[in-house]
Structure 1
Amino acid sequence: MEAEAKPVIEKLGLTALADSHTLRGNFPRFQGEFEGKEIIISLNGKSSEYGVDRIGTEFAALNTQSAILEFAPDLIINAGTCGAFSADADIADIITSDQPVVYHDHRVPMEGFSEFATGHHPVTYKPDYFQGVAHKLGVVTTGNSLDMPEVDRQIIEQNRGMAKEMECASVAAVASLYGIDFFPIKSVTDHVDIELDNVEQFLENLNRASLKLSETLIKVLTNID
């Protein structure tokens, strides 16, 4: 989302690039250098029809593949916000993972297809990247809905999910397809198990979580050799 990316784009002083030649539609990209590393931030853009951020797995996968083909990155970081269970994390806590990323809304109860649908896409967690960074380790689980019906909750708990969000597994899948190291950085905006409207929670905490996300991402980029 634009609101999640804006603080880090401004802090790093990144420059907007011309529209992608491999994708139709608006996929904003920003480029710059930070401590000797070339940085590309690629956003999923906004819907021309509805004027909202193009959240979810479809545009995240398109964006990731296009960015790989255009820039050939050595490392992909999926930085964004997430929901979490109140027992696992506080608002604006940072979550990353040393375990595969999964889907919680892909349900195909057939031999082989069930495992494929769940995903289990690999991540590359290196403790050195997070040296001096307060963070929690847990499973990141992806689905295309902001709410959490009971069937999704059951699957999230079965997979021991900590961070519930809407893009990570699709980004991880594409990174794995191209053999590129990948890991997520997520900042908590809402508690999925609290009896409050999680839309209200999300909007109330988005700015705080996004600022924490940008601070963390810059620290992690500093730690990467």
Structure 2
Amino acid sequence: MKKFTLLLALLTSTLAMADRIAIIGAMDSEIKILLSEMKEVKKEERATVVFYEGKLLNKDVVVFKSGIGKVNAAMSTTIAMEEYDVNKIIFTGVAGAINKNLNITDVVISDYLVQHDYDTTIFGSKKGAVPGSVDTKFFADKQLINIAKNSAQKVLGKNKVYIGTIATGDQFIADKKAVEALETDFGAWAVEMEGAAVAHVANLYKTPIVVIRSMSDKADGSAHMNYNDFVNIAADNSAKIVMNMLLEM
């Protein structure tokens, strides 16, 4: 009886330690490929967010659309942490290019993330210095960065994959001066509307995270036109990278 109890305890412990990976996109287009490949899916709605729990390439995952913006991203990530025992997070999707070396459909993998619209500089703090950040930054996980980099290079080739800081704010950036400010203030490579909020939650929970962003536009005066033309291509590329990552995890 004691042996059986010990075996049961070890089995329970092993199951508890198994990876469950949260894969998040802000929009339907960013997760549609992933959902189409999932098996054994259980669907559940919480706070208007639909969570799809199941298997993807034999990995335990929960895939969901966070919705656009920092509040939606932080709320849905917190639900995933609390309700689905998530211990790794991958955010997939599109972004606007900041660094001049980037072309549309290139990919930026986060090393750090910043909330560029958080501003309490009137009190002497740095722009983007959100409580909980380290010198304005939220960290991505080094192991996940390396896996994402290798996977992205397999999907797109080495000359289209970069690692850099991603800036997040509740704005669609489409102005050259704003782009220059993001590069000057934060050294940002790309800009979007969710990643740093997700990283904020992940860092507080001490959970590994990486954000993968495929460039849908140049974040300048032509951004809205480029975005409409390339958003689906960029979103699909990012999702394919995530699929490749799962094979390496």
- Specify the alignment match of 1:200 in structure 2: 225
Structure 2 counterparts to residues 153-168 of structure 1, below 5 A: 153-168=180-195
1:188 counterpart = 2:205: no
Equivalent residues of 1:80, 1:185 under 8 A apart: yes
Compared with structure 1, are the counterparts of its residues 201 and 124 closer, same or farther at alpha carbon in structure 2 (3 Å cutoff)?
A: same
- Specify the alignment match of 1:4 in structure 2: 30
1:139 counterpart = 2:165: yes
Question: What TM-score do you get using the length of structure 1 for normalisation?
Answer: 0.83
In 1, distance between residues paired with 2:28 and 2:42?
A: 13
In 2, distance between residues paired with 1:190 and 1:181?
A: 28
In 2, distance between residues paired with 1:148 and 1:202?
A: 10
In 2, distance between residues paired with 1:4 and 1:154?
A: 28
1:218 counterpart = 2:248: no
Equivalent residues of 1:141, 1:156 under 8 A apart: no
- Specify the alignment match of 1:50 in structure 2: none
In 2, distance between residues paired with 1:115 and 1:105?
A: 7
Aligned-partner residue type, residue 166 of structure 1:
M
In 1, distance between residues paired with 2:101 and 2:116?
A: 18
Deviation readout 1:166-204 (Å, 9 max, x if unpaired)? 0001000000111101110111100124x42x1221111
SS in 1 for 2:44: coil
SS in 2 for 1:216: helix
SS in 2 for 1:19: strand
Question: What TM-score do you get using the length of structure 2 for normalisation?
Answer: 0.76
In 1, distance between residues paired with 2:40 and 2:109?
A: 24
Equivalent residues of 1:60, 1:170 under 8 A apart: yes
SS in 2 for 1:18: strand
SS in 2 for 1:133: helix
Task: Give the share of equivalent positions with the same residue, in percent.
Answer: 22
In 2, distance between residues paired with 1:101 and 1:69?
A: 23
Aligned-partner residue type, residue 164 of structure 2:
G
- Specify the alignment match of 1:104 in structure 2: 116
1:61 counterpart = 2:69: no
When the two structures are aligned, how many residues end up with a matched partner? Answer: 208
Equivalent residues of 1:189, 1:209 under 8 A apart: yes
Say which one has the larger Rg: 2
- Specify the alignment match of 1:42 in structure 2: 64
Aligned-partner residue type, residue 238 of structure 2:
L
SS in 2 for 1:145: coil
- Specify the alignment match of 1:30 in structure 2: 52
In 1, distance between residues paired with 2:69 and 2:204?
A: 19
How far does residue 39 in structure 1 lie from its aligned partner after superposition?
0.9
How far does residue 213 in structure 1 lie from its aligned partner after superposition?
1.2
Q: CA RMSD in A?
A: 2.1
Contiguous gaps of at least 5 residues in structure 2 = 1-26, 154-160
Greater strand proportion: 2
SS in 2 for 1:92: coil
